[in-house]
Every structure is written in structure tokens, then in C-alpha cells.
Chain A
Amino acid sequence: MNIRTAVSPTAATTATHSAALAVAGTRVKIAAKDVKVYYGAKLALKGINLDLLESKVTALIGPSGCGKSTFLRCLNRMNDTIDNCRVEGLITLDGEDIYGRHIDNVQLRARVGMVFQKPNPFPKSIYDNIVYGPKIHGIASTRDELDEIVERSLQRAGLWNEVKDRLREPGTGLSGGQQQRLCIARAIAVDPEVILMDEPCSALDPIATAHVEELIDELRENYTIVIVTHNMQQAARVSQKTAFFHLGDMVECNDTEEIFTNPRDERTQGYITGRYG
């Protein structure tokens, strides 16, 4: 691992930064300032400036290799696990530098949860999948507390009614769509503030996708959600803000409606309408 941040500002300057960017009733949850990512010598992200608003779903779209997943993985320091990957710039969560020295990755990932492309339940029971996080983070220990977390998380993930009678069965025995909702339930069991989703529906059929999208809409109230998707209709359906990435740049970020009806940049227009750039 070779990670460092180029900028390490004081708490005061970051607080001003967030305050300045907060607009009428929307608070900036995560602010990225001039974020650059290198894989070895290759510059994968060329200085991204993007604010992610609280209680909003932000969709990151763009062609393969544009850097959207790389950016997503910066937000909970998943890139730390990749050799030769170097992150520069500043990313703040509630004004606090997440690459700061005193930040504990495990704690950070409890606050910033992640759901992956392929459902990846632990090879354990449905129940144990959910309680794993709360146990290691010391959020709950007694049987009653854990039971309550399991029920609440599965309820929120819209899975409770389907699995309540078989909580002891393996999570891997569920259908693909159910597994993905189990993973979302697992992510929200530790009560995160932000949920990152990397192509959460690409392995799901349309009905399972609809369940997950409905879930995203419900979760939005309490969480800040960032979703990477190749499916532009999905971005249009679930998000309020959309950011278009292209060749390591963030080309355009605007209200989703605006991006899909009247994009400002030719490259955005070309991409979303399926034209050669």
C-alpha cells in the first residue's frame, strides 16, 4: 500500500469549504477536491471536484475506464488495498479529511458502507451475515439487540417477509436479487451514513432490479447514496444528481433531470444518446 494525501488542511478550512458549498437545504456530506488517483505512473483520475449531498442519490455514469468506480472506491478508501494506487487531493466526510492520519479505515467503512456489483453474502446464515458488522464494530452484543438489528435491517432492505422464517439458512441459498438485498441489509446493519453502490443491479433481473431501486429510494431519506451504473435509465430513475465521467475527468454534474433532458456538454450528450464522441 502506498497511500498519502497531498493536502492536509486544518479542520477550520474544511468546515468553511463545506459550508460554502451547502446550498439551500442541502448539506454537503462528502466533498472531493482536486482528487487525483494514480495506478503506478498512470493517472486514472485527473483532479475531480465533486460534492455529494446529504439525503440525495448521486449517480456516477460514464464509459468503462472513465474512472467512476475508482472515484467511488476513494470514498471509503477501498483503493488502499490496491498496490501501486496513489490518491492525491482532499476528500472530506462531514468536513473531516478521510485520508487524515487519525482516521481508522474500519471505522470509516462503518460510516461509509459499500454494495458491490455481484452479490457477495458471506458463506454463513442470513442471520450471521447481518450481525457480522454490528458485532465487530461493537454496536450490539446481546441476543435481543442483535435480533432487533437483523429484523430492522431486513425490513429496511425489503427482505424481511421473504426470509423471516429461514434466518438460519445460508445467505448463498437466496436468489440473486435477494442476495443483493441481503448485502444491502448487511451494509445498513452497522447504521452507516453513506452507502456506495458499484453497479448493484447489473447481475439482477428487472424485477429484482426494481426491488433494489425501490429500496434505494426509501433509503435516501436517511443515507447519502452514491451509485455507479452503466444503465442510464437506472441512473435517471434512482438519482437526483448525476455526474458524468469521461477519461478520468468529471465532465458535468447537475440535476439528473437536466443531465438527461438537456446536458450542457457535448460529450455528455454523445454518451447518453449513444453517439460517437
Chain B
Amino acid sequence: MSSEHIVKSFAQELQRLSNLVTQMGGVAEAQVEAAIRAVARRDVDLAGQVIQSDHRLDNFEREIDSEAIRLLALRQPMAQDLREIVSSLKIAADLERIGDYAANIAKRSMALAQVPVVQPAAAIPRMGRMVEGIIKDVLDAYIERDVDKAIGAWQRDEELDDLYTSLFREVLTYMMEDPRNITPCTHVLFMAKNLERIGDHATNIAETLHYMVRGKSLTEERPKGDNSSFAVVAPHAERSGKTEDAA
């Protein structure tokens, strides 16, 4: 929108709301990044900091909620302004969930750090880099109001789902190999699931951004690559870890 609001204070309030979402996005991104680093380095202190910092996202969400509700009540926004405000509510909710998943990864990294390293844990930083890339692009797209960039990130979520599905199978075979692997592998599995969920929330944000800018929902079906819900590992499978799809 090239032209300016006649009521300047309204424009300032909208800008403030947008800034809050941007800041919250930055914090969420940093939380995810730190949580993954805590896993990779088996850094219990860092994990503790992530858990400690989660309340910052909750505070941001509360602030965005009250600011958005105030604007809805006092300004009766229309058209693009209305879409911006409603979108900020939705994006804040997604970012808050992303923060929760990051905190959960940090908690599990503490448990993981107490037992010997298991091979599949190496997949977490790999998946993490992909998730970070998606979040970064989605947040940049929000700042720049760049729908194409958001769609690009949205499409990459499929790769993340694929990675999760393959990791899921890999983890199962390690568990079958040695029951002592079950505890750390379960943590790894939940971490991977958390990362996969973070990716889903990032794609939600991309979809919200599309609506916010274009006024239309992203109707196209998002490519889904997560088939782990259908995956089974047959108990008599060879040690090579051959798996079969039940679906």
C-alpha cells in the first residue's frame, strides 16, 4: 500500500503490531536455533536457557493479542488493515507453538546428554538446519510482505516431511537392534517430530501471509511428505533395517 493512513496514529499502531510480530519471530527463530545447537553439542546449559526463555514468546503472544484486540475494537479496521490484524493473531499463535516445540527439544536434549551418543541423533541438526531455513524465509517473507518467498518456503516443507519419515524408520531399526537404544532413540524421535511440527507451523505462517497480502487463501494443497503415520517395521525384518509401508 503506497498511500498513507489519514489517521497517523492508526498507521503507527499497525506498524507497532507488525514490529511485535517481527520481534516475536526473531525470538522464536533464535529459540529453535539454540535448541538444535543444544542437541548437537550436548550442551545442557544452553538447553536450560532455551527452556528459561520460552516465557518471552508467551509474553509476546499476549502483547500481540491485546494490541490486536484493541485495534479491532477501537479502529474497526477494514480490508488490508483487517487482514493484517487478524493475521498477526494467527502468526503469533503459530510462533508461540514453535517456541513450545523448541523448549521441548531442549528438555529432551538434556535427557539425551546423559546417555551415550546414538547414531540417529546426528539427524537432528540436519533436520534442524532445514527447519531453520524454512522459518527464516517465512519470517523474511513476512517482513518484506513477499508472498512468493513464503510459497517457496511452504513448498520446502515437503522435504522436511520426507526427512522425518526416513528418520522415523531409521530410529525404529536402531531400537530393534538393541533395547538400550530405546530411551535415547525415543527422545530423538520426539525431537524429530517436534521439528516436523515446527515446519508445519512455519507453513501455516506462509499461508497466513498469503491471505494477508493477497486477500485469498492459498487454496492449492500443500505437498505432504510425512508418511510416518503409515510406517511399520516388521518384527522379523532383517537387521539391515528393511521396512514396509502398511499403507
Contact = CB atoms under 8 A, between A and B. Distances in A.
Interface of A: 232-233, 236, 260-263, 268-270, 272-277
B110 to A, nearest CB: 46
B3 A260 contact: no
A276 B6 contact: yes
23 contacts: A233-B76, A236-B78, A260-B79, A260-B82, A261-B82, A261-B83, A261-B215, A262-B79, A262-B83, A262-B216, A269-B1, A269-B79, A270-B3, A273-B1, A273-B77, A273-B79, A274-B5, A274-B6, A275-B3, A275-B4, A275-B6, A276-B3, A277-B3
Contacts of B81: 273
Interface size class of B (residues with CB under 8 A): 10 to 19
Contacts of B3: 270, 275-277
B80 A273 contact: yes
B190 interface: no
Contacts of B6: 274-276
Which DSSP category, helix, strand, loop or mixed, fits chain B's interface?
loop
Nearest to A275: B3
A39 to B, nearest CB: 28
B10 interface: yes
- Among A232, A233, A275, the one with the most B-chain Cβ atoms within 10 Å of its Cβ is A275
Interface of B: 1, 3-7, 10, 76-83, 215-216
A260 B215 CA distance: 11
A268 to B, nearest CB: 8
Contact of A260 (B4, B7, B78): B78
Contacts of B5: 273-275
Contacts of A272: 78-79
Contacts of B216: 262
Contacts, number: 43
A275 B215 CA distance: 18
Given A270-B3, A277-B3, A263 B76 contact: no
Contacts of A274: 5-7, 10
A212 B113 CA distance: 69
A273 B81 CA distance: 7
A89 to B, nearest CB: 30
A274 B82 CA distance: 12
Contacts of A276: 3-4, 6
A232 B4 contact: no
B18 to A, nearest CB: 15
- Among B3, B76, B79, the one with the most A-chain Cβ atoms within 10 Å of its Cβ is B79
B4 A262 contact: no
Contacts of B76: 233
B82 A275 contact: no
A260 to B, nearest CB: 5
A261 B79 contact: yes
- Among A232, A260, A261, A277, the one with the most B-chain Cβ atoms within 10 Å of its Cβ is A261
Nearest to B86: A261
A233 B73 CA distance: 12
A227 B25 CA distance: 44
By Cβ-Cβ distance, the 9 closest A-B pairs, closest first, are A262-B215, A275-B3, A272-B78, A276-B3, A273-B81, A274-B6, A260-B78, A269-B79, A273-B79
Contacts of B77: 273
A268 B10 CA distance: 18
Given A276-B6, A277-B3, A232 B78 contact: yes
Given A261-B215, A262-B215, A262-B216, A269 B80 contact: yes
A268 B79 CA distance: 9
Contacts of B1: 269, 273, 275
Contacts of B83: 261-262
A236 B80 CA distance: 15
A36 to B, nearest CB: 29
Contacts of B215: 261-262
- Among A232, A233, A274, the one with the most B-chain Cβ atoms within 10 Å of its Cβ is A274
Contacts of A262: 79, 83, 215-216
- Among B6, B7, B78, the one with the most A-chain Cβ atoms within 10 Å of its Cβ is B78
A263 B4 CA distance: 17
Nearest to A270: B3
Contacts of B79: 260-263, 268-269, 272-273
B200 to A, nearest CB: 26
Contacts of B4: 275-276
B6 to A, nearest CB: 5
B73 to A, nearest CB: 12
Given A260-B82, A269-B1, A273-B1, 13 more contacts: A236-B78, A260-B78, A260-B79, A261-B83, A262-B215, A262-B216, A269-B79, A269-B80, A270-B3, A272-B79, A274-B7, A275-B3, A275-B5
